Each structure stands twice: as C-alpha cells, then as structure tokens.
Amino acid sequence: MRRIEMILSRLVWFVPTMAGLVIIVFLISNVIPTDPVKVLLGENATPAQIEAMRVKLGYDQPLWVQLARHFHDIVSGNLGISIYSQRPISEDLAKRLPATLELTLTAIILSVALGIPLGVISALKRNSLLDHILRVISVSGLAIAAFWLALLLQFFFAMKLGVAPLNSRIDGFGPTPVTGLMIIDSMLDWDMESLHSALSHIALPALTLALPAAATIVRFTRAGVLDVINSNHVLYQRAMGLPPGLIVWKYVLRNALISTVTQIGLIFGVLVTNAVIVETVFDWPGIGTFAVQSILQSDHKAIIGFTIWIGALIVIVNLLVDITHSFIDPRGSR
Amino acid sequence: MTLLAVEDLSLGFATEAGFASVLDRVSLSIERGQVLGLVGESGCGKTTLARAILGVLPRETARITGGRVLFGGTDLLTAHPASVNQTIRGRAITFVPQDPFTSFNPVFTVGDQIMEILKWKSPRAAAPTGRGWLPAVVARYPSERKRADMDAVLELLDTVQLPRPQQMLRKYPHELSGGQRQRLMIAMALLPGPDLVIADEPTTALDVTIQAQILGLIRRLASERNVAVLLTTHDLGAAYEICDAVNVMYAGQDVESAPVDRFFASPAHPYTTKLLASLPDANGTASGIPGEVPGLITPPGGCRFHPRCERADGPCREVRPPVDQLGGGHWVRCYHPHGDAR
Amino acid sequence: MSAGWRRGLGRFASDRASALGLALLVVLILAAIFAPILAPFPGDVADFHTANRLRPPDTVNWLGTDRMGSDLFSRILFGARITITIAVVAVGAAVVIGVPIGLLAGYYGGWPSNFLMRVSDVFLAVPQIVLAIAIAQTLGPSIENVILALSITYWPFWARLVFAETRSLKNEVFIESAIALGASPLRVMTLHVLPNIASAIIVRTSIGMGGTILTAAALGFLGLGAPPPTPEWGRMIAESREFLPEAWWYATVPGVAIFVVVMGFNLLGDGLRDFLDPRIRRGARAK
C-alpha cells in the first residue's frame, strides 16, 4: 500500500513539475535578443514579410497568450512545427528517441556491468594495489570532459586502430524497424551483419558515456560494500560458516545495491547531459543532436519540445528508480 | 570428555595507539553437554575469545600471537580454513549473536535466511568435500532435502515457542520483536545439530522480562539435545541460573574457573569476590570495585588485576600466577587466593 | 568538538589525495595570475603566424602550435584565467542566489517555501547543460553570458542543499532555545544556522566547481562560449577536431588541462568532505 501511495504522489507531482518546466523554458526562450522570424526568413526579408510571418507563427500576440496557446498545444500533444525541418516536432523527437534510448541504455548496462563487480572487488581488496588503481581511475573518470573522452576514443579506436567506425549509427539501411533499437531489431531480423554494424557503431559513444557513470558506480558500490561488510549480519553468516563468495555476492551486494540503485537516477541525469554532447561528436541521430541543432538555429519550439521530453524522461526514470528501490528494500525507509 | 580446549591463547589488535593485547594466554575447556559461563566486565575480552573460537576476528587488525584452539583434537587456528568453514563452523560449532536486531540481514525474509543456513549446514546433508565447481551463489538445493529441512525448521520453531511458524518465515526481520528474533537465532543455532553453541551475550539486547525466558530456553534445549554451550555474559545472575560452571576473565586474562555452586559459595580470586560483592544485596545497595579497568596497549605486568588488589605484592606485579588447582574442578590464578583451605 | 576538528585537520593534511588536489589548484591559480610572465609568447592569444601552424611540441613551442600557428602553451596559460574566472564567478553567483533562498525556505516553511523548492525541482529535472545551452544561445556567445547561464542553472543545487540542512537543524535544541530566547530570525539564520551548514556548502561548492568547469567547457566546445580567438579550452578542443589524427597534441593539451583542474577540485572536495562532513564530526564528538 505504501508503494502505491508513493507512486501516486509522484504522479500527482508530475503535472505541476512539467508545467513549471514549460513555463521556465518558455520564458527563457522568449527573453532573447535574437528574433526567430528574422533568422528564419534570412537577412533579405522585407519588414512586411517578417510581419506576415510573425502573425502566422503567433509571435505578434502578448506573451501570456502565446504561453496559453503553448500549453494548449502541449496538452493536445502538438509541440508545433520545427521551423527548419518543417515537420512536427513531436514526430522528429519520436523518430530520434529510440537512438538516444539505445545509446543511454547500453551505456547504463555497460556501466553497471563494469561498475558493480569492480566496486565489490575494490572494497574486498581494500588498500591493495588493485583498489588504489581502481580508485584513481574512478576519480579520473569523473574529471574527464565527455566530449574530450569521445575524441580520445575516436582518435585511438577509429583513427589509429581502425577497429570501430568513426561516427553514425549503422552502415546500410539497417534492420526492419520494430522497436527502433537497432541492436534488438537486427536480432529480431536475424541479420548478423546489421547486428555487427550496430554494435560496432554504438561501442565508442556508449563507452564514452559509460566510463564516468561506471566511475560513480564503483565509488558508491565500494562505499556500500564497506559499510555492510562490517555489519553484524555479515559477522553472523561468517560465524555460521556460509561460503564467503555467497555472503559477498548475494547478501552484502544486495544491501550495498540499495544505495547504488538510488544513485542510478542521478547517474541517468548525468548520462543524458553527456549524451547531448556525445551524440553531437559521434553524429548519433538521437534527440541530443536534434537539440544542439535546434539551439544553434534558434528554433524555440524545438528547444521547448526537447526540454519537455527530456524532463519527462528523467522524471519517469526517477519514478522507476523509486519503485525498484521499494522492491529491493523491504523496510520502505523512504 | 573435553569437547573444546583453548590453550594459552594470546591475541591482540593493531590500533592507532599501538598494539592492544586483548587476550593474554587464556585457557578454557568445555565438556560435552556442559553449559559454561564466561563472565567478566565489558571489555575483558570474552567476546573476542568467542570470535576467536568461531574464527571471525577482524582480518585486517587482529593478530594471534600464540596458543591453540582444539576442537575434537583439531587445532582450528592451523587447520585448513576452507575445511573448517565447511565442516565445523555452522555445523559442529554454531553461534547465537549478541544483537538479534542487527544480526539478520534486513532485506531478506527470516525464512530465506534460515533456509540458507540449512542449505549449507543441514545435518541431512553430507559434509562437502573441497570446492564445488559451481560458484556458491548458484548452488542447487536438492528439493527432497529442502522439504525435510523445512519440516525440521517448523518443528523446532514450535519447540522454541514461536507460534504460527509458517507466517513467521515469510516476514522480514523488522516485522518481528526482539524476543522472536532471538528465538529464531536459537533455532538456527540448533538446526544444524551442533556439538557446541557459542552464545555471545544472547540476552543483553533484550527486554528484562524476556531475558529469563530466553536463558531458560537455551538451558532446556542444551540439556535435551546434549549440546555444550559457551555463554558469555556480564550478568552473574544469568550465569547462576543456567550454567554448570563459570570462567572469570579480567582485562584479557582468565583468573578463575569453578563449578557453579562452588563459584558462588567459595570464590577464591580477589577479583571474583569483589565482582560478587558488587552485586546489589537484599537492601538494594551495591559496592563498586575501586580503581579502573586498565588499558590494553600497555597493560600492567604480571596479574593484570594487581593495581586494584589490596592483596597484591611483588610477585603479582612481575609474573602471572600459574593455575592453582583447588580440587573439584575449581582452579584460580592467584598467589593470595581467598579461603585458602586446602 | 575542537578535538574532532583537530583530528579532521590532521586527516586532511595526511590525506595525499586531497593534498594533491590542493597543490594542483594552487599551481593552476598561480599560472593563471602570472600568465603574462610565464607565457613564452604572451601575444599569441590574439596573434597568428600561419607559417608555424600545427607544429608538434619542440623546444620553442613546448606544447606545439595550433591551426593559426599560435603557441599552445601560452594559450593554455591564458585559458586558465578564463576557466577559473567562469568557475568562480558562476558558482559564486549560484551560491549567493541559492543559499539565501534555501535558508529562508527552510527556516520559514509554508507555501512560499514549497513554491520555491518546487521551482528548484523543476530546474533540477532538466540536465543543466540543456538549460545552459538554451540560455547561452539566446543571450549570444560571450564569457559573461556563459557565466550567467551557469549561475541561473546552478543555484537550485545550493538552494536544495541549504533547505534540507536548515530544515533538519531547525528541530535541534540549540536553535529552538535561541528562538525561545527571543533572537530575531535574521540573527538565528546568520549566527546559528549558517555556521552549522557552512561545511556542507563548502564541500558542495568545491565539487560543484569541477562540474561547472566541465559544463562551461562543453558550452565552449559547442561554440557557445567566448568567440575566437579567445583561448577557451573547450573551444580549442572543438577547433582541434578536424586536425585529428595528425595533430594529436592539439586536442590533447586543452583536454589534459581541463582534466587537471577538474581533478584538482574533485580531490579537494573529497578531502574537504572527509574533513568537514557533519556526520563524521558528529561521530567523533559522540565518542
């Protein structure tokens, strides 16, 4: 019952949070010196043309009327037409979202798969050489600029070694879109060539995103394991002669993961932040490149649309994290 | 017949201030089926001794500097660690912890935790030989044995007076009371069919009203099943209630051992007499022991009690008194024991 | 309490990692201050010598030259001034905005406080860089605008932190008794609450500096920072992209510079947390 209450209260807050987000982004994108209509029509447009376009796009209305219309549009699922692509923004975003999801999910899986075992080992072999090396790497992982790491990986693996493609998402046409995730779609098609291409294309951007995330997970897992390993229930199980591997990988890890799972919500925020940049470096056709392009072209509606989608995505991920948390921690300490 | 014999065990911990000598040539022995009380003030080393026998001292700081822990003729300190873990710890020697509140893992049901113990330590399972080829996390629990083990659990939960055991097993530790948790701990200690149960202050974390019940339960089950119990406690009353014999420790040294009636009737060591005198009498007045427990980084030489002892003289400060047999299983380590009536 | 502090101070000094962080930052700040003296070619911030373009590191150009033939070492030194200015001013402004908001909201409670915290939640719901990019873009590329964009997006972190700390402190006996003795709210907040949450703010600020530098560099990388020829590190990396893999030093040098500064702040922040963390100190006091 407590779980349902928690989920409901989060859902109730979802609406005002998203509304606040819309207002803030709207205000920010309107308090600006650049005039989107001028940008759209170019330097040579006549004042009459500009005025006509202004009326057509609704920029002649007072701010609050624009805002009200904007809310109406969003509630009806219409984020407007992208000034440049001349396609509905929701459509553009929906088309690009799977690419971003595939990239960030791969990065999360990679960082968890790397971070948790290394964190546990680091804690078990505390103050060993391995522990020191891992700690240096994990502190460094948080200090590297994502776009620079992306360039480094491109430099070594794509340019020097030639083992991975430099950018883009797949060679050729790719598999029949079902989920929109190339890796899964090519498995559904049983198309090994596409699968190989998809995996080799995602490797570098996913690694770029995963390394700092893995560094964070190593730190939290290590701290969590150290916290638990001296607890009385571990002492009890050791005293009762349970296999040491069982105690660590089943019981200690389960306790340590409670704090790590909470961190994954935060990590996801950082991942999405970095994805905006990393997608740009790797020409990854996700919503990050879309956002950067829209911003560089002063496409307000596209920026607002992107921000709403990202905000919603992060709020949903945090909700999922809270639900997961309530399952792995029966005490319901929140 | 001696089941467990600790011989001249010395160990200590590396601390920031230096090496703390926590046990100084401590000896102790338990007969099969005997309930032995290990008595002393907090910090006298009784919990450390219990953990040394169980082999769960903190790996990074503890250092054993001498002595043996003989169980059924094997020295647990030098035997192969993995084989001790598989065949003795949790099977022949089990453990009832001090704090039942924190000794259950909070995120697993108590049923899962009990069955985990039995999966590895059930008397119906053959003792494992060497390492299995599968990691322990994915080891199989044969379903036939699991059913038999479950029956044993339900029967024992009934014996330790836990009503509706089926429901109880599905609960998480925080949903149970302290008394219920400690009854479960006692059940878990008995299920593997041990020869020796080490109960480390099993009632200190509990309500006074429940303490007597838990102690009575331990005594009754130990007698019924002919299981030896090593009970550490600072509560002389508890020791009197349920023990066959009592060992006294002071600042990391064993000072006296006697069958329980002799211990209370004619204590020999000056520390023991002061400890007994410090119990509140019928009028409710208690007398403390003058002086302080010494630090263990630089403990007093000889008998560590000498700075607080009015009988102490030269030799007491230099050389630790040897074991002085007083007869009837009663011995003392003192140059000037009370009631010297041999 | 003083014993706890002294022990913490000893721990801080003996912790090699945080000492290294402090040393890195001191070297960097000195380099930034004395850049005009230390730089072998101080004019290269703006000058170019296309004949020398893309020279690998040698005895003249210690870290090589860029696409305009300018000395990278000199440009990195001057770039340190920009980076440090951005980090200090942006984080400083965010602290100045966020701390009073968090303090007032945490002290008074009620709907205005809820409203403020909801607003900061909204800011926290979107990745900083997204809002910062939007703001920096609308304001136009300049260092001042980068600083403004970062301050606007960073204040909620401090507001949230101070709010939570103030909330929990308000129930402490010493705060309640100060209120009961008739101390004015302003006095309670500045003399009783603030000193007790200062350590948490300091730790967050040190770690926040590292994050701010990374975000600022990312803005520069996207071309939203200072316009060329400003030697901004993120922009230098963006410029170097087309010369990979031949001119490896071009991308390496500013990247390492960013790494070193952020590392310095992170190590310092970690050390400060161990030293100042209220929970650790409370534990030491209880013993």
Residue-level pLDDT, tens digit, chain A, 334 residues: 567 777 787 777 777 777 887 787 777 766 655 566 665 666 667 777 777 777 776 667 777 787 787 778 777 777 778 776 788 888 888 889 999 999 999 999 999 999 999 999 999 888 888 888 888 888 888 889 989 999 999 888 888 887 888 777 887 777 777 777 888 888 888 888 888 888 888 989 999 999 989 998 998 888 889 888 889 999 999 999 999 889 999 999 988 888 788 778 778 878 888 888 899 999 999 988 888 888 777 777 787 788 788 888 887 887 788 778 777 777 754 3
| Cis amide leading into C254 (omega within 30) | no
* Angle between helices C2-14 and C248-276 in degrees, nearest 10: 160
pLDDT tens per residue, range B169-228:
999 999 999 889 999 999 999 999 999 999 999 988 888 888 888 899 999 999 999 999
Q: Which residue is listed with tokens 């300490």?
A: A333
Contact A46, A38 (CB under 8 A): no
Q: How far out from the chain centre does Cα C226 lie?
A: 18
Instruction: Give the mean model confidence (pLDDT) for residues C157-185.
Output: 85
Contact A201, A169 (CB under 8 A): yes
> Which residue, among C279, C153, C123, C274, has the nearest Cα to C215 in the 3D structure?
C153
Of A146-155, A160-169, B63-72, C159-168, least confident by mean pLDDT is A160-169
Tokens of B338: 């009370």
Mutate one of B51, B53, B56, B117 to test the A interface: name it (highest A CB count within 10 A). B56
Alpha carbon distance B5, B247 (integer Å): 13
Q: Which of C118, C134, C237 sits opposite A29 (nearest CB)?
A: C134
Name the minimum distance, in Å, from the CA of B253 to any CA of chain A: 24
| Cis amide leading into A47 (omega within 30) | no
Q: Which of A140, A148, A269 sits opposite C237 (nearest CB)?
A: A148
Tokens of A245: 């591997």
- The whole-number pLDDT of residue B244 equals 94
Q: Per-residue pLDDT for C242 more than 60?
A: yes
Q: Which residues contact A135 (CB under 8 A, 6 or more apart)?
A: A122, A222
pLDDT band, residue C281 (cuts 50/70/90): very low
3-state DSSP assignment of residue B245 = strand
Do the chains contact at A307 and C131, CB–CB below 8 Å?
yes
Q: Which helix (H) or strand (E) holds A5?
A: helix A2-30
Q: For residue A33, list chain C residues with Cβ-Cβ distance below 8 A.
A: 138-140
> Which residue, among A162, A159, A164, A142, has the nearest Cα to C248 in the 3D structure?
A159
Alpha carbon distance C65, C70 (integer Å): 5
pLDDT tens per residue, range B129-143:
555 566 777 788 888
Tokens of C208: 């926040």
Size of interface A-C (CB pairs under 8 A): 134
Q: Per-residue pLDDT for C218 more than 70?
A: yes
Mutate one of A159, A266, A277, A319 to test the C interface: name it (highest C CB count within 10 A). A277
How many helices (H) does chain C have, and how many strands (E)?
Answer: 13, 0
Q: How far out from the chain centre does Cα C28 lie?
A: 14
Instruction: Give the mean model confidence (pLDDT) for residues C120-140.
Output: 77
Do the chains contact at A159 and C266, CB–CB below 8 Å?
no
Q: Which residues contact B35 (CB under 8 A, 6 or more apart)?
A: B218, B219, B222, B228, B229, B231, B242, B243, B244, B245
Q: Per-residue pLDDT for C270 more than 60?
A: yes
Instruction: Give the mean model confidence (pLDDT) for residues C139-166.
Output: 86
How many helices (H) does chain A have, and how many strands (E)?
Answer: 14, 0
Chain C residues contacting A, CB < 8 Å?
17, 118-119, 121-123, 125-131, 133-135, 137-140, 210, 214, 217-218, 221-223, 234, 237, 240-241, 244-245, 248, 251, 254-255, 258-259, 262-263, 266-267, 270
Contact A36, A59 (CB under 8 A): yes
pLDDT tens per residue, range B275-308:
888 777 666 565 677 777 888 888 998 899 999 8
Q: For residue A232, list chain B residues with Cβ-Cβ distance below 8 A.
A: 97-99, 102-103
Name the minimum distance, in Å, from the CA of B289 to any CA of chain A: 32
Alpha carbon distance C90, C148 (integer Å): 7
φ/ψ of residue B301, rounded to 5: -75, 170
Using the Cβ of A150 and the Cβ atoms of chain C, whether some distance falls under 8 Å is answered with no
- The whole-number pLDDT of residue A333 equals 43
Q: Per-residue pLDDT for C282 more than 50?
A: no
Mutate one of C15, C130, C146 to test the A interface: name it (highest A CB count within 10 A). C130
Q: Per-residue DSSP letters for C96-120?
A: HHHHHHHHHHHHH-HHHHHHHHHHH
- The whole-number pLDDT of residue A57 equals 67
Q: Per-residue pLDDT for B41 more than 90?
A: no
Q: Per-residue pLDDT for C4 more than 60?
A: no
Do the chains contact at C127 and A315, CB–CB below 8 Å?
no
Chain B residues contacting A, CB < 8 Å?
51, 54-56, 58, 60, 84-86, 88-91, 94-95, 97-99, 102-108, 116-117, 120-121, 135-137, 139, 172, 174, 188, 198
Do the chains contact at A330 and B136, CB–CB below 8 Å?
no
Instruction: Give the mean model confidence (pLDDT) for residues B15-22.
Output: 88
Q: For residue A2, list chain B residues with Cβ-Cβ distance below 8 A.
A: none
Do the chains contact at C131 and A28, CB–CB below 8 Å?
yes
- The whole-number pLDDT of residue A330 equals 74
Name the minimum distance, in Å, from the CA of C180 to any CA of chain A: 32
| Helix-strand-coil split of chain B, %, nearest 5 | 35, 25, 40
Residue B133 one-letter amino acid? W
Do the chains contact at C259 and A24, CB–CB below 8 Å?
no
Tokens of B208: 């006074």
- The whole-number pLDDT of residue C9 equals 58
pLDDT tens per residue, range C28-37:
899 889 888 8
- Using a 10 angstrom Cβ sphere, with 0-12 exposed, 13-18 middle and 19 or more buried, the burial of residue A186 is buried
Q: Which residues contact B100 (CB under 8 A, 6 or more apart)?
A: B178, B181, B182, B184, B185, B205, B206
Q: Which residue from A minimizes the CA distance to B89? A: A241
Using the Cβ of A272 and the Cβ atoms of chain C, whether some distance falls under 8 Å is answered with yes
Q: For residue A292, list chain C residues with Cβ-Cβ distance below 8 A.
A: 133, 222
pLDDT tens per residue, range B233-281:
988 888 888 999 999 999 999 999 999 999 999 899 999 998 888 777 6
> Which residue, among B48, B49, B47, B54, has the nearest Cα to B202 in the 3D structure?
B47
Do the chains contact at C255 and A148, CB–CB below 8 Å?
yes
Mutate one of A9, A14, A28 to test the C interface: name it (highest C CB count within 10 A). A28
Tokens of C117: 């915290």
Q: Which of C126, C223, C263 sits opposite A21 (nearest CB)?
A: C126
Instruction: Give the mean model confidence (pLDDT) for residues C119-136.
Output: 78
Residues facing B325 on adjacent strands:
B331
pTM here?
A: 0.80
- The whole-number pLDDT of residue B333 equals 94
Tokens of A192: 């090994």
Do the chains contact at A243 and B120, CB–CB below 8 Å?
yes
Do the chains contact at A33 and C210, CB–CB below 8 Å?
no
Do the chains contact at A251 and B105, CB–CB below 8 Å?
yes
Alpha carbon distance C134, A24 (integer Å): 11
Contact A253, A239 (CB under 8 A): no
Q: Per-residue pLDDT for C187 more than 60?
A: yes
- The whole-number pLDDT of residue B35 equals 94
Q: Per-residue pLDDT for C95 more than 90?
A: yes
Instruction: Give the mean model confidence (pLDDT) for residues C173-187.
Output: 85
Alpha carbon distance B40, B236 (integer Å): 9
Residue C226 one-letter amino acid? A
Alpha carbon distance B18, B265 (integer Å): 41
Name the minimum distance, in Å, from the CA of A146 to any CA of chain C: 8
* Angle between helices A2-30 and A63-75 in degrees, nearest 10: 140
pLDDT band, residue C280 (cuts 50/70/90): very low
Residue A218 one-letter amino acid? V
Q: Per-residue pLDDT for C116 more than 90?
A: no
pLDDT tens per residue, range A229-273:
889 999 999 999 999 889 999 999 988 888 788 778 778 878 888
- Using a 10 angstrom Cβ sphere, with 0-12 exposed, 13-18 middle and 19 or more buried, the burial of residue A273 is buried
Q: Which of C121, C127, C237 sits opposite A151 (nearest CB)?
A: C237
Q: Which of A231, A242, A258 sits opposite B116 (nearest CB)?
A: A242
Q: Which residues contact A200 (CB under 8 A, 6 or more apart)?
A: A164, A165
Of B33-37, B68-72, C186-190, least confident by mean pLDDT is C186-190
User: How many other CB atoms are there within 10 angstroms of residue A132's CB atom?
Assistant: 13
Using the Cβ of A14 and the Cβ atoms of chain C, whether some distance falls under 8 Å is answered with no
Q: Which of A232, A244, A255 sits opposite B99 (nearest CB)?
A: A232
Name the minimum distance, in Å, from the CA of C237 to any CA of chain A: 7
Neighbouring chains of B at 3+ CB pairs within 8 Å?
A
What value does the CA radius of gyration of chain C take, rounded to a whole number of Å?
A: 22
| Cα–Cα distance list, B255 to B26, B35, B154, B228 (Å) | 9, 19, 42, 22
φ/ψ of residue B224, rounded to 5: -60, -40
Q: Which residue from C minimizes the CA distance to A19? A: C122
